[in-house]
Structure 1
Amino acid sequence: MRLPPCQAALCAAIGLNLLLLLCVWRWGTPQPPRPRAGGDNTAPGLTPGVTVLLREFEDFANDVPGVARSFAALRPPPPLLVVADETPYPPLPPLPPGARLLTLRPAPDRPPRLSRPELHVRTRHVALVPDGVRATPGHLERMRDALENGAGGAGDNTRVVAAPVRGPTPPRCLDLHVSLREWTARYTPAGPCRAVEGDAVLLLRTRDLFNLSFPLARPLPTALFMQAALRGWTVRLLPEAAFAARRPPPLATPHGRWKAEAAARARRRRLLADFGVKRVVLPEGRERWYGCGKETARCFGTVHARTPQYLHQDRWTPPCCLRALRATARRAAAVLAAAGVRYWLEGGSLLGAARHGDIIPWDYDVDLGIYREDAGKCRLLREAAAGAAVVDDEGFVWEKAPEGDFFRVHYSRLNRLHVDLWPFYPRDGVMTKDTWLGHRQDVEFPERFLQPLRPLPFAGFTAMAPNDVRAFLELKFGPGAIENPEYPNPAVKRLEREK
């Protein structure tokens, strides 16, 4: 059928408009880069060179203009980005040509790209410089060459090159192991170089940096090295490529140092909370704790179907919670023993003692059995049985459990980590109790297991336990219970065996 001229013209116009829309969409939408041989250092869209990025500085006292002028004096001058969470106040003095200030916090009146530094780094490599550093000709190129032309052996996974900043104490290499499952970061002085202690300039490939989940989180070295360790990256320290630093340093006054240290502590706590790290072991063996304590709530919420939330996240009990459980168990056992109350390790707590002398790494409470007839010997249990929660001399809370006929000892009023005390009584030579919660191990057992009780190492002290631990546990959990660990409710979440 032949179209009239007017209809033909209309169809042609519609087709032309569709074609134009397709072209605009195609040209205006960022396309993912195509991979090339040669690795990240030849990524399309990036050019040879090093961008200097200044992130670690304080608003109230800094040497940002001096750092910028120092690198701007190099020939040719490298691109330089100053990155802050929000616009610094007091305002920074004017930066030299080629330097830019970017803020990470979006604002409703600014384009989103101004809050994304990765869109402003056009070079294949980026150098992260601390405040007060002074540029040295050739050092950035030496670091880049060390990264790209290093040993490159079969086991070499160097992704970061560090150059010292001259100071009273030279930087040193540390090994770093981060276990998210155990909420722990552990530094040691021996092993592969996975972190640098002390001021240093850090250089890495641009794509490596911005492929990290937290590329510019502060404290920047801590954030970078933890993420690198999780990926198996190593660091190469170049002592021969040391950078000079401003003297005196930007934070030369006691008040300035105090403010900076307080801000650094707050940033470190936020970072470790974001990473889910609650315990840090320092190179000399000291520990720093960032989880719950007596003045805070515990680190996890309601336990559903005997499976705490952290198991669904493929993590184990936070170490601060294990520490609190150990302290509560030690206190409960000491009070019971002093009062003449016969007690013994029960259920999963006895399993942990039999396996490794401690609480099971994924357990969320401690269970002790007691003779019901002995409960009246303990003042704290007598008062708790009367219906009132009792706070003892060390801040532990003793109360009657609302779920049934047993007691709980809480770590504190705020932190409800607890030890359950189960009152058993003999009937025809069998130990039984009045409250059963339907747990697998909730079964009666012969009283002969308790005559006599025997000491057993547990959670840093000596607890009392049944006299035949293996037979007692296999009665409750089945054959091979000690050798075959499992999560509390395998129907909900099973323990994945390491290969």
Structure 2
Amino acid sequence: MRLSLAYLGALCMIPSVFADADFSQVRLNQDVDMSRRAGLPAEKYFFESTFSMHYDGRFAAHALNYTEQTKALRDLVRSYLMTFQSLGIETWLMHGTLLGWWWNKQILPWDSDLDVQVTESSMFYLAAYYNMTYHRYRRIGGGRHYLLEVNPNYVVRDQSDMYNLIDARWIDTVSGLFIDITAVRYNLTHPQGEGMLGSKDGHEYRDTYLYPLRETKFEGVKAKIPYKFRDFLVGEYGGKALSNTEYNYHIFDEEKMQWVRKNPDEEGEPWVERKQQGS
């Protein structure tokens, strides 16, 4: 398997391909594959890790602690948004990532499951020209490397393939964290008539709720969100999710406009493991 290596600058992305690398060279941190495959069908393409459903076991052997995970997730989403803007591919925030935008235009600190969407035509374009491309994101104090991987089952348009609902991922090859990318497709036979969009993970909505996309910022980077973002959030999470200032061991500080932990002394704990056990 060959991978294209593209370098991303600190303030702008450079989409040109500079070098090639074998897949073995992308796995910088470990030789052991920690993917959870036991009991799952071979036709499933993306295998999450044995220690968390939100980490790719090919690139990590354990979950990061709270502080490290937050930092890695911010770099993850910033690099994704900057890359897709550079490539001219329209993408928008969805699900819990959109909810984080609602509160303070940042990632929800307890949420390691980041979600974005693209159009079906964009997914075909990514598969044709950017599948398995390897990117370097530079920032002050260091940088990280990311892999854009498209699930070959993206061509299946409905939910019949329940093991391949995610069409692509943007993966941090150092931490194993990733962004789920799903394609939205027009359903020409939908009982509600024309203009209905849907993704393989079961979400569907009318195109007038999505378009025109609104321009905004997320984690300090240019981003886009659905036109009727409030309707999306209330429909998925309920109205309380937009007003409840206490959730999952966190309190929203309205003066700082930040979610803060109830027990800040626990920042060194492996947050994903604690969340799975205690919530």
How far did 1:341 drift?
2.0
Answer yes or no: is 1:410 the counterpart of 2:171: yes
Change in 2 beyond 3 A, CA 1:326/1:363: same
Q: Give the SS at the match of 1:359.
A: coil
Who is 1:457 aligned against?
217
Q: Which residue of structure 2 lines up, in the alignment, with residue 368 of structure 1? A: 116
Instruction: Provide the C-alpha distance between the structure 1 equivalents of 2:151 and 2:51, rounded to a whole number of angstroms.
Output: 16
Instruction: State how far apart, in whole Å, the 1-side matches of 2:277 and 2:212 are.
Output: 37
More strand by share: 2
Q: Residues 353 and 456 of structure 1 are in contact (CA less than 8 Å); yes or no, is this contact kept in structure 2?
A: no
Task: Determine the C-alpha separation between the residues in 1 that align with 2:101 and 2:278.
Answer: 21
Equivalence map 1:192-211=2 (5 Å): none
Q: Does 1:399 align with 2:149?
A: yes
Structure 2 counterpart SS, 1:374: helix
Rounded Cα–Cα distance in structure 2 between residues aligned with 1:366 and 1:482: 18
Residue 390 to residue 339, structure 1, CA distance change in 2 (3 Å) = closer
Offset at residue 476 of structure 1 (A): 1.6
| C-alpha separation in 2, matches of 1:295 and 1:349 | 28
TM-score by length of 2: 0.54
CA deviation after TM superposition for structure 1 residue 296, in Å? 4.8
Aligned residues: 179
Out of 279, 284, 303, the position equivalent to 2:52 is 303
Could you say which residue in structure 1 is the equivalent of 2:128?
Answer: 382
- RMSD value, Cα: 3.4
Q: What's the CA shift for 1:429? A: 1.3
SS of match in other structure, 2:242: coil
| Structure 2 residue 221 is matched with structure 1 residue 471 | no
Which of 193, 196, 207 lines up with 1:430 in the alignment?
Answer: 196
Partner in structure 2 of residue 346 of structure 1: 94
CA distance in structure 1 between the aligned counterparts of 2:199 and 2:181, rounded to whole angstroms: 12
Q: Is the 8 A contact 1:452 1:467 kept in 2?
A: yes
Per-residue deviation, 1:364: 0.9
> How big is the shift at 1:433?
1.7
For the 8 Å contact 1:431–1:447, the answer to whether it is kept is yes
Q: CA deviation at 1:328?
A: 1.7
Counterpart Cα distance in 1 of 2:278 and 2:228? 28
1:494–1:346 distance in 2 versus 1, CA, 3 Å: farther
Cα separation, 2, equivalents of 1:348 and 1:493? 20
* Alpha carbons 2:82, 2:221 under 8 Å: kept: no
**Percent of matched pairs sharing the same residue:** 22
Q: Which runs of 5+ in 1 are unaligned?
A: 1-293, 307-315, 437-441
| 1:128-172 CA-partner distances (Å, limit 9, x unpaired) | xxxxxxxxxxxxxxxxxxxxxxxxxxxxxxxxxxxxxxxxxxxxx
Partner of 2:243: 483
Shift of 1:302: 2.5
Unpaired segments of 5 or more residues in structure 2? 1-26, 35-48, 55-63, 138-144, 153-162, 188-193, 249-271
**Cα 1:382–1:323, aligned 2, differ >3 Å: closer, same or farther?**
farther
Contact 1:339 1:377 in 2 (8 A): no
TM-score with structure 1 setting the length: 0.32
Rounded to whole Å, the distance in 2 between the matches of 1:432 and 1:460 is 29
| Aligned residue number for residue 122 of structure 1 | none
Q: Cα distance, 1:424 vs. partner?
A: 0.7
Partner amino acid, structure 2, of 1:408: R
* Distance across 2 between alignment mates of 1:321 and 1:399: 21
Residue 351 of structure 1: how far off its partner (Å): 0.5
CA distance in 2 between counterparts of 1:399 and 1:468 reads 29
Pairing 1:280-319 to 2, within 5 Å after superposition: 296=29, 302-303=51-52, 318-319=66-67
Deviations 1:376-433 (A, max 9, x none): 444xx43565xxx331244211113585151111112x42111111111122212212
Greater Rg over alpha carbons, structure: 1
Quote the offset at 1:493 in angstroms.
7.0
